[in-house]
Structure 1
C-alpha cells in the first residue's frame, strides 16, 4: 500500500474545518452575500475548486421544501446561516425529505425563539465534538489502510502470483471498500433514526 497516500489523506482531514458560530456575520445578508460567505468559509470542504458550496437555486429550493425558513425582505439572518450550514453537512448523504425531518424540531422550536438555548448554542454544542470525532476518523482510516495492506498477500497461495501493480490496485480497492462499508452502515443507522423521527412527527399532526 502507498504510505504516501495515507499521509496525504490524514493531512487532508487535518485541514478540514467547520464554520464557527462566532464567524457568522451579525448583519443580515442578501442572497449573493450568503453564497459568497459559504464559498469562502467552506472552501476546505469542496472536492473541486470550481464547486460551489451552495447556490441560489439550492437555497431557494430549501425554502420551497420548508427546510429553511423564508428570508425576511430577501435578507437572511444568523439563524438562516446556521440552518444552511446544517443542510450543507447533511446534503451529501441524505435526501431533502430526510433533512427536513431532522431540522424540523430546530426550525419549530429554536429558529424564532428568543429564549435560551439559542440556535447558535445548539450549533456550537454539536460541533464541540468535532475535534474528537476527527481523531476517531483518522484512527479508522489508518486501521483500514493497515487491514488493506495485509490483504491480497503474496503469502496467500491464491494471490501469490499477482503482479505487484495489480496487488497495489486491489489493496487500494480494499481500502475504498472498507471506508465505503463504514459509511454505508452509518447511513443505514441515520436513516433508521430519521424514519423514527418522521413517524413521531406524523403522529403529532393527528
Structure 2
C-alpha cells in the first residue's frame, strides 16, 4: 500500500468521525436496558473495530452502576440522563480507567441526583461536547496531512524498498504518541481538579 494523502483521506473517511448519537436520537420516553443497548448498537455501530465487538452490554451497564459511574435505573428504566452518561462513559473508557471516569462523573451524578435550582444541564453539556467533537473531526484530516508531509520529509533517506512500510509505522507511532500525551494531560487534570471534588 502506498503512503499517500489520498490513502489517509480514505482511512479517515471510513471511520465516520462525524457520525454521533445525537440528542434528537434519544427517545423522550425512558427505556428498558435492552432498548438502550439496541439504540447504541444502531447509532454507534460504525465505531466497532470488528463486527463481533459490542458497543454496550447488560454486563457493562450493571458494572457501571456498581462502580457508581452511572445512577441506578428508575424502575428498570433508563432516562435521557442515563443515556447521555452512557455515551460519555463509552467515549471516556477508550482511554481512561473506570476509577478516573468515576472521579470525572462523580460531581455530575451527585448534581443530577439532587433537587436544586443550579442543576447541571447534562444535555447542554453533551451538545457542547458534540460540537467540539465535530470540529476535531473536521480538523483531523488537515492535521494528519501535515503529519504525513513531515513524516515524508524526515524519511527521505530511507531505503526506497521499505519506505511505505516505514512511513506507515512512523505514522502509527506518531498518532499513538499524540494520544498518549493527551491522555496524560487528561489524567493530570483529573488528578489536580476532579480528585478533590
On whether the aligned pair clears a TM of 0.5, the verdict is yes
Counterpart selection for 2:21 from 19, 23, 27: 19
Larger radius of gyration: 1
Give unmatched runs, 5+ long, in structure 2: none
State the secondary structure of the residue aligned to 1:48: coil
Kindly indicate whether structure 1 or structure 2 has the higher relative contact order, using CA contacts under 8 Å at least 6 residues apart. Answer: 2
User: Number of matched residues?
Assistant: 194
In 1, Cα distance between the equivalents of 2:97 and 2:73? 22
Residue 95 of structure 2 corresponds to 93
Q: CA deviation at 1:118?
A: 2.3
Residue 118 of structure 1 corresponds to 121
- Specify whether residues 111 and 142 from structure 1 end up closer, same or farther in structure 2 by C-alpha distance, changes over 3 A only: farther
8 A contact 2:108–2:120 mirrored in 1: no
In 1, Cα distance between the equivalents of 2:188 and 2:82? 27
Where has structure 1 moved over 4 Å in runs of 4 or more?
111-117
Q: CA deviation at 1:137?
A: 1.9
- Specify whether residues 118 and 46 from structure 1 end up closer, same or farther in structure 2 by C-alpha distance, changes over 3 A only: same
| TM-score, with length taken from structure 2 | 0.90
Deviations, residues 90-120 of structure 1 (Å, cap 9, x unaligned): 1110000001111112111135557565221
Q: Alpha carbon RMSD of aligned pairs, Å?
A: 1.9
Give unmatched runs, 5+ long, in structure 1: 202-206
Q: CA deviation at 1:163?
A: 4.5
| TM-score, with length taken from structure 1 | 0.86
